[in-house]
Amino acid sequence: EPQGLVPISMAVWTSQTIDMAGAKNFGTVADLTPGVEFDSYPDYGAGIETNIAIRGVNSKDGSTAGVYIDDTPIPMDPGSSFGREYPMLFDLKRIEVLRGPQGVFYGEGTEGGTVRFITVQPALSSHSGFAKGEVAATLRSATSYEVGAAGGGPVSSGAAGMRLGGWLRHDGGFVDRVNPYTGAIVDENA
């Protein structure tokens, strides 16, 4: 029997499963992960003061779900009206959702669980990269698109490596923004 294995309730999203699910943000990943709820405070209106709950342990009145990029915590800004920032899902190695108390490994503020965004690390011995694009059209609206590329490799063989990426996304709208005084269209398909 293997030594050192500990049973844990964890969901892992690899870059391939994120792409297959068509997830563009953490909200989509949370919707598809059992035991995870991602929404906003109902007191202020939709989209303000983001909230994550893992296994029903809510973070509305304090941080009970830890969020990390690799091993660095993303703190909850108590003065913010928009809650915690979540990274883009582009060029991630995986997302780990650890359900249940994680205080032993991740400290206070992780009573409900922990979400870890694991980045692709620079390689010291080989080059790698990828590019992807997506275009979508909706009847009577502007075109939506997404393009991105990332790559990296050794700068000094075995000693130093680098990874660079670029990403751009545009969601096409279908409602014109109009000047309320003149009626002139300010921004078409905003």
Q: How far is CA 149 from each of CA 49, 126, 130, 165, 170, rounded to the nearest angstrom?
A: 31, 17, 6, 6, 16
> Would you state the structure tokens that stand for residue 8, as one six-digit string?
């844990």
pLDDT value at residue 107: 79
pLDDT value at residue 152: 94
Q: What average pLDDT does range 23-50 have in this prediction?
A: 81
Q: What average pLDDT does range 172-177 have in this prediction?
A: 86
Residue 135 scores a pLDDT above 90: yes
Strands 65-69, 113-119: parallel, antiparallel or unpaired by DSSP?
parallel
pTM: 0.79
Given phi > 0 = left and psi -120 to 50 = alpha, else beta, which region is 34? Answer: beta
Burial, 123: exposed, middle or buried (Cβ in 10 Å; 0-12, 13-18, 19+)? Answer: middle
Q: How far is CA 106 from each of CA 76, 127, 180, rounded to the nearest angstrom?
A: 15, 33, 51
pLDDT value at residue 175: 86
Residue 96 scores a pLDDT above 90: yes
Name the residue with higher pLDDT: 155 or 76: 155
Contacts for 28 with CB less than 8 Å, ≥ 6 apart? 21, 22
Give 29's pLDDT tier (boundaries 50, 70, 90): very high
